[in-house]
Chain A
Amino acid sequence: MDRAQTTAWLDQHNIHLVRIDGINHDGMPIGKHLSRDKFLSALDHGSAVSDIAFGFDYAGAPYLAWWDEWRSVGLSDALQVPDPSTLALVANRPGVAMALCSHRLGDGSEHPVCPRSMLQRVTDRLAADGLRAVAAFELEFLAFHESFAEARRNGYRTLTPLGLPVPLSYLSYNAHQQAPFMDEVLRRLDLAGVPWDGWNDEAAPGQIELNFRPADAVTACDHLVRARAIVRETAYDLGYSVTFMAKPSPEYGNGTHVHHSVWSGDENLMAHDASRMHWLAGLMQTLVPGVSIAAPTINSYRRFTAFSAAPTHPRWADNDKTVAVRVLAEGARSSRIEYRVGAGDTNPYYLLALVLASGHYGLKNQLDPPPPSGGVGWALPPGTPRVPDSLSSAVAALRADRLLPELLGDAFCSFWANSREWEWLMFNSTGGDPLADATTDWELNRYFEIVG
C-alpha cells in the first residue's frame, strides 16, 4: 500500500489509533499504540523503541554477558517501521487498527537480528535466483477454562482443559466444547484478514490446531504471529487461558510444523525428484545445528520424546510423521516438505529463514540427502544420532557449525547462541532443576503466558 492508499484505508475505517507490533528475537510482539498522524510519520521515519528490545530475556533481565556491535551503548533507539500492507482492524476496539513492523537500527540501517527482516533477506536471495517460497504453518496451543489470572494463581498447574480431559483428536464432541472460543477466534482472524483453512481438536486435553492457507514466506509468518496474538487476546477477553509452550504438561506437546514448497515461475520444484532431494539435503545438513532456532527455550526439549508426534532423531522420510522432515510428493501443485522440528515456542521468522536458507543452499550446491529413515523414527537403538536433547547441547552444535553463520549471518548466529546460553544459565542459576524429568515450576512461571 502506498501512502495515499494507507491514508485512504485509515479514513475509510475511521482509525484514530494504530497498534504497531514488531516481533522480537523471542517471538514476542512488542510495540506501541500510535496516533494516526504518528503512525503515518512512522511509515517514513520509523517509531522509536529502546534497542534493549533485543537485549532482554523472557523475564525482562538484560543480557549482560556479551555485547553485539549493533547495540547502542547509550541504550538509544532502534526503529519499528510499519508495513502498511499488514494494516488490519482490531476486534472490539472501534477506531483502532494494527500493523506489523520490521525493525531497523537507530540510524535507519538494517537490523541484523530483526526476525522479519532476516527472513526477507533470505527470500530476497531466493528471488535473485528466480525462486519463491510458499509456506503454511500449523498452529498448536492448549486452552483452559481458567483465566490467565487464575492460572497464574494456580502456578499454571491442575488447569481445566477446554474440552474433554482425554487425549483424543478429531472428536466432534470435543470440538463442540471448544467451538464457542474458536468461533470468536475465527471472527477476529477474519477481521484481521488472516486466511485460515480450518481447525480441529488435537491430541492433548484442551489442545487445538489451527491451519492456514499457504502464502509467501513473510506473509505466512505474519499470519502465524497475528493468529497467536488473536488466540491469546481472545482467551484473555473471554476469561480463558492459553499457552503455546512446547510441553507444559506430560500430555502431548505443542509444535510449529511448517509446510513449504519452492517455485520457479509456475513450476513447483518440490514436484521434481532431483530438486526436491537437493533441497531436502540442505535441510538435513543444518537440522542438528539449527535445533536451538526451532526449539528456543529450556522447555522446548521436553517435547522431543518418542511416540509424542515430535522428532527425536534427525531423519526424513516420505509421508511419515514419526520423523523430523516429512516429504510429500503429491503432484505438480501440492508437493511440499513439512519441517516438523519447530516447537510451539519457536520464532516462526527465524525458523522459516533457517529452513529456506538451508534448502536453497542444498539446491544450489546439488547436495544429496542421507538415506531416508527405514521405519519408525522413534525408539531407535542407543547410539543412533539424536536431535540435541537440551538447549545447551543445541547451542554447542550451533557454535560448532560453519555453515549456518554463512547462511544466516555471523551477527545473528553469535547473538542467538549467546542468548540461548544465557537462557540455560538462568534456568540453572535461578531455581530451575536440570534433573527434573517433567516441566518445572520455573518453566511454567517463565513461559506459560509469554512464549509464542
Chain B
Amino acid sequence: MITVTTEDDPTPIVRVLATTIRRSCETPSHSRAVARMNGTLVFKSANDPQAATIRFGRGSVHLSRGANGPAKVTITADLALMNEPDAPRPKVEGAEAHLLFALGVSKALTPKYGTWQEEAARFWQHTSTGTGMPSGILVRCLDDASELRLGGQTACEVHASAFELRNLFCGNTTLGERAFAGKLFAVGPLNHLAVLTGAGLRYSLGG
C-alpha cells in the first residue's frame, strides 16, 4: 500500500500533487510502479515560483514545498496552459539517466481517469453534501448533446465539450475559471457557480 504524506501546512501545489498521486495509485499498475520508485522528483511551475519536491521511498511518498534536490527527474510545466487541448509538453530533465524512475513518475502523475460521465459521478459523490451545493446538476456535452443528471432536482446546468467536462470533474480545472475563459457555460444562479467552483478547488486540493 502506498502512503502519501505532505509537509505541515502544505502549499496548494503540494496538495494538488498529493491528490493526483493518491488518485493514480488507485490503479493497481500505477500503484505497483510507484511502489518500486526510490528517489526525488522536483515539479516546478514554468511561470511562477510554485514548486514541489516529491520523495519516493519504495512505497512511501512525501511531498513538500520548493525545489529541493538533488532530483533524479525535474519537471517544469506551464500550469496556466497544462489543461488546454494543445497544452505544451512539460520540460523533463533527467529522464534519460533515470529511465525507470521517469516511467514511474509518468504513472504517478497521470491517473487513469474515466470518461467525463464517470468522473462527474465520482465528483458528485465526493462533493454533493457540501454547504450550498445545488440539489442537482444537468451536465450537457456539447460534442454530442449527451446529458448526465447528477443528484435530484436540477438546480443548474453545466455545458461544455467532453474534454472540458472531464478536466472539470477530475479537478484539473474549476468551473469559475473555465467559465471566465469562455470554455464552459453554466445556467443557474451565481451562488451555484461559486459553490461548484469552490467544490472543485477543494476536490483538487484533496478535501
B4 partner residues in chain A, CB cutoff 8 A:
none
Of A195-203, A239-247, A346-354, A432-440, the segment with at least 4 beta carbons within 8 Å of chain B is A432-440
B192 partner residues in chain A, CB cutoff 8 A:
67
Asked if A429 lies at the interface with its beta carbon under 8 angstroms from chain B, I say yes
Beta-carbon nearest neighbor of A63 in chain B:
B194
Per the bound structure, the CA–CA distance linking A69 and B8 in Å amounts to 32
Within 8 A of A (CB), among B1-56: 8-9, 11-13, 48-51
Interface residues of B (CB under 8 A from A): 8-9, 11-13, 48-51, 65-66, 131-132, 176, 189-195, 197-198, 201
Q: What distance in Å separates the Cβ of A59 from its nearest Cβ neighbour in chain B?
A: 15
Beta-carbon nearest neighbor of B188 in chain A:
A73
B195 partner residues in chain A, CB cutoff 8 A:
66-67
Per the bound structure, the CA–CA distance linking A49 and B102 in Å amounts to 55
Q: What distance in Å separates the Cβ of A345 from its nearest Cβ neighbour in chain B?
A: 21
Beta-carbon nearest neighbor of A394 in chain B:
B9
Beta-carbon nearest neighbor of B51 in chain A:
A435
A-B contact pairs, 11 of them (CB 8 A): A63-B194, A64-B194, A65-B197, A66-B131, A67-B190, A67-B192, A67-B194, A425-B201, A435-B49, A435-B51, A436-B49
Per the bound structure, the CA–CA distance linking A428 and B16 in Å amounts to 12
- Contact between B9 and A67 (Cβ–Cβ < 8 Å)? no
Per the bound structure, the CA–CA distance linking A443 and B198 in Å amounts to 24
Q: Residue A431 contacts which of B12, B13, B48 (CB distance < 8 angstroms)? A: B48
A69 partner residues in chain B, CB cutoff 8 A:
132
Per the bound structure, the CA–CA distance linking A418 and B191 in Å amounts to 15
B189 partner residues in chain A, CB cutoff 8 A:
73
Per the bound structure, the CA–CA distance linking A424 and B201 in Å amounts to 13
A390 partner residues in chain B, CB cutoff 8 A:
9
Interface size on A, residues (CB 8 A): 26
Q: Residue B191 contacts which of A73, A396, A435, A436 (CB distance < 8 angstroms)? A: A73
- Contact between A435 and B66 (Cβ–Cβ < 8 Å)? yes
- Contact between B132 and A67 (Cβ–Cβ < 8 Å)? yes
Q: Could you list 4 further interchain pairs (A-B, Cβ under 8 angstroms) beyond the known A64-B193, A431-B48?
A: A67-B190, A392-B9, A428-B50, A429-B12
Asked if A71 lies at the interface with its beta carbon under 8 angstroms from chain B, I say yes
Asked if A430 lies at the interface with its beta carbon under 8 angstroms from chain B, I say yes
Within 8 A of B (CB), among A396-452: 396, 418, 424-425, 428-436
- Contact between A428 and B13 (Cβ–Cβ < 8 Å)? yes
Beta-carbon nearest neighbor of A66 in chain B:
B198
A65-B201, A435-B65 known; A71-B191 Cβ under 8 A: yes
- Contact between B190 and A73 (Cβ–Cβ < 8 Å)? yes
Ranked 5 nearest A-B pairs via Cβ? A433-B49, A65-B198, A67-B191, A64-B176, A73-B189
Q: What distance in Å separates the Cβ of A49 from its nearest Cβ neighbour in chain B?
A: 17
Within 8 A of B (CB), among A42-81: 63-67, 69, 71, 73-75
